[in-house]
Structure 1
Amino acid sequence: MSITQQYALDTYRARQLGEPAPPAPGAHDRQVVRGLRDRRRFRAVLAGRPARGRIRTALGRLAHPGPRSMR
């Protein structure tokens, strides 16, 4: 059963029982992704790492390998 079929079945059952309809699939995806990003940044700060730009920095190192500076 696909997610669309399950949603249609849940909506039908809710209508039959007089309950509010469930949220559509994907309705809260942005909120979930934003929450995950915020949590990852928070945990990075607690661990003493930079909270932003880590992925871009890592990709830059892969794209332009060279001598690494000693920090």
Structure 2
Amino acid sequence: MSITQHHLLDTYRARQLGEAAPPAPGAHDWQVMREIRDHRQFSAVVAGRPAHGRIRRTLGRWLHLRPRSTW
């Protein structure tokens, strides 16, 4: 059963029982992503690591460690 079919079935059941319809699939995706980011930043601070710029710093290290080709 696809997500859309499951949502339609849940909406039908809610209507039959007189309950509120469930939110559409994907309605809260951005909120979940923000909460994951916030949790990762919090965990980094608690562990004593920098909370911002970790990815850019890591990519910079990788790029500088590679031997550059001579043209």
TM (normalized to structure 1)?
0.85
Q: Partner residue of 2:62?
A: 62
Q: Matched residues in 1 for 2:27 and 2:63: separation? A: 36
Equivalent in the alignment of 2:38 = 38
Q: Tell me how large the CA RMSD over aligned residues is.
A: 1.1
Q: How many residues align?
A: 66
Unaligned runs of 5+ in 2: 67-71
Which aligned pairs between 1:1-71 and structure 2 lie closer than 5 A?
A: 1-65=1-65
CA deviation after TM superposition for structure 1 residue 62, in Å: 1.8
Relative to the length of structure 2, the TM-score reads: 0.85
User: Percent identity at matched positions?
Assistant: 71
Point out where structure 1 has 5 or more consecutive residues left out of the alignment: 67-71
**Deviation (angstroms), 1:64:** 2.5
Distance across 2 between alignment mates of 1:11 and 1:65: 54
Secondary structure at 2:52 match in 1:
coil
SS at match of 2:65: coil
Deviations 1:3-24 (A, max 9, x none): 0110011001111111100011
